[in-house]
């Protein structure tokens, strides 16, 4: 089971940008990001396969971009045009299918507020 270490969360104003990073301890088929807002269930944000196939939540399409460096076993989430409703704990994920999860990161807080 791979271990995941996230970085890059923080406080940002509405309309701002933030980049999250997640490094895995080994190679795995899919990596991605989920989030859990206050009082909400955890939901998919974006996932990417080793070959670069992606799936995005409708709510982030056009604003967020997921990318991956296979040589570094690292996944990135570039978040632009952030909204208050993007406030959540963001969890890195890794799995053996595109939308399956075998491992979770510890979570990183993203707060969008003025």
**Distance of alpha carbon 14 from alpha carbon 23, whole angstroms:** 27
pLDDT above 90 covers what percent of the chain?
Answer: 96
Which tens digits make up the pLDDT trace of 47-77?
A: 999 999 999 999 999 999 999 999 999 999 9
Which tens digits make up the pLDDT trace of 6-17?
A: 999 999 999 999
* β-strands 88-95, 108-112 pairing: antiparallel
pLDDT at 34 over 90: yes
- The model's confidence at residue 41, banded by pLDDT at 50, 70 and 90, is very high
Report the run of H or E that residue 104 belongs to, with start and end: strand 103-104
**Distance of alpha carbon 55 from alpha carbon 77, whole angstroms:** 13
pLDDT at 88 over 90: yes
């Amino acid at each position: 089971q791979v271990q995941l270490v996230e970085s890059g969360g923080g406080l940002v104003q509405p309309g701002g940008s933030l980049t999250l990073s997640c490094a895995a301890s080994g190679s795995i088929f899919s990596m991605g990001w989920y989030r859990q807002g206050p009082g909400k269930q955890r939901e998919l944000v974006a996932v990417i396969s080793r070959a670069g196939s992606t799936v995005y939540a409708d709510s982030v399409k056009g604003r967020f971009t997921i990318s991956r460096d296979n040589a570094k076993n690292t996944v990135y989430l570039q978040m632009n045009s952030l909204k208050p409703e993007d406030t959540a704990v963001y969890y890195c994920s890794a799995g053996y299918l595109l939308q399956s999860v075998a491992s979770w990161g510890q979570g990183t807080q993203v707060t969008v507020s003025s």
